[in-house]
Amino acid sequence: MAHTTPSVSRRSLLQLLATTAGIWGLSGPVSNTWAQTAAGGSAPELLRIGYQKSAVNLVILKQQAVLEKRFPGTKVQWIEFPAGPQLLEALSVGSLEFGLTGDSPPVFAQAADKDLVYAGAEPPKPDSSAILVLKDSPLQKLEDLRGKKIALQKGSSAHYLLVRAVEKAGLQWTDIQPIYLAPADARAAFERKSVDAWAIWDPFYSATELTLQARALATGRNLSSNNSFYLASKPFATQYAHTIAALFEELTRADRFAQEHRPETIKLISTFSGLDAGVVSLFLQRRPKSPVGPISASIAADQQRVADAFHKLGLIPKTVRVADIVWTPPGGTRLAQAGKP
């Protein structure tokens, strides 16, 4: 289905952003200043966006060439990454302006003094990640992870999922054997039984569940909110607030397309990713409505808990205060109350 981008009036954009805020609790009322930013201002000459296969809203924008139409004077480059840590490394060294990751990568990046900011977020997706075991595995409960080899991408959202699973099982981090592998290598190790379990997110989760009949020992439900964050380079966020506002508007519109046009979305993502339509369908079933907006105080506080957990285990070298790198849109409210001093 073709996508058209109507001109956006100040009033209609304010209404859209206010609706988004009402859906999942953005921080305070949406200001007129913030609404105005999407309708004016110069766009950058180059916009490099990092994304993963799980980034439904971004994939829709890419496949429908929405941003190329919205910003005709901007060269938009799309760069795919296997996971969030690699994406944020590229962003921090100036190879990207904007990208989407899960909850853990920004914590590791901030602890390493990477120069980036939290620009926005999507609502939690607790059902979209899991700790998988093969169908014939003797492991039946989280406590059975003691002494086992568990594959995961270091610094990814799966890392925090496993931290929480170990904690819930009453185990220590030293009671397990984390095996740090990128998703493709982890899948291979999992399939040949070189590891006992795999902490992973969709669509890898759905693909493995359907093709290998893997079962979930636990999902993010009751373990992790599994928040998704849009990160930006600090210069980009400072200079192009209006572009970020327009990105949020288009991303929210893309999410509405995904919710209202499911068959077309399945075909679009399947064509892009090479994944079977059944895998994409299952992946999307687990994904809630995901409008995009600035970081709320509650989301920032949730993210601070992620940071504190990693620091407590010595997995990051220092305490980080999430609120210090939460970008404030024009007319927005500083989230000084979120996080620890």
The β-bridge partners of 100 are: 230
CATH topology for 10-124+227-325 is D-Maltodextrin-Binding Protein; domain 2 (3.40.190)
User: E strands of the chain, at which residues?
Assistant: 46-51, 75-80, 98-101, 116-122, 129-133, 149-152, 177-180, 197-201, 215-219, 228-233
The 10 Å CB-count burial string (b at 16+, else e) for 27-41 is beebbeebbbbbbee
The CATH architecture that domain 126-219 belongs to is 3-Layer(aba) Sandwich (3.40)
How confident is the model over 287-334, as pLDDT tens digits?
Answer: 999 999 999 999 999 999 999 999 999 999 999 999 999 998 876 654
Decide if 10-124+227-325 and 126-219 have a common fold.
Answer: yes
Instruction: Report strand pairing: 129-133 vs 197-201.
Output: antiparallel
The β-bridge partners of 130 are: 200, 219
Cα–Cα distance for residue pair 211/222, rounded to 1 Å: 26
How confident is the model over 97-145, as pLDDT tens digits?
Answer: 999 999 999 999 999 999 999 999 999 999 999 999 999 999 999 999 9
How confident is the model over 232-274, as pLDDT tens digits?
Answer: 999 999 999 999 999 999 999 999 999 999 999 999 999 999 9
Cα–Cα distance for residue pair 121/106, rounded to 1 Å: 12
The 10 Å CB-count burial string (b at 16+, else e) for 149-164 is bbbbbbbbbbbbbbbb
- What is the pTM assigned to this prediction? 0.85
User: Are the C-beta atoms of 196 and 112 separated by less than 8 Å?
Assistant: no
The β-bridge partners of 118 are: 231, 326
Radius of gyration of the chain (CA): 20
Domain ranges of the chain: 10-124+227-325, 126-219
User: Phi/psi zone of residue 331: left (φ > 0), alpha (ψ -120 to 50 degrees), beta?
Assistant: left
More confident residue, 12 or 176: 176
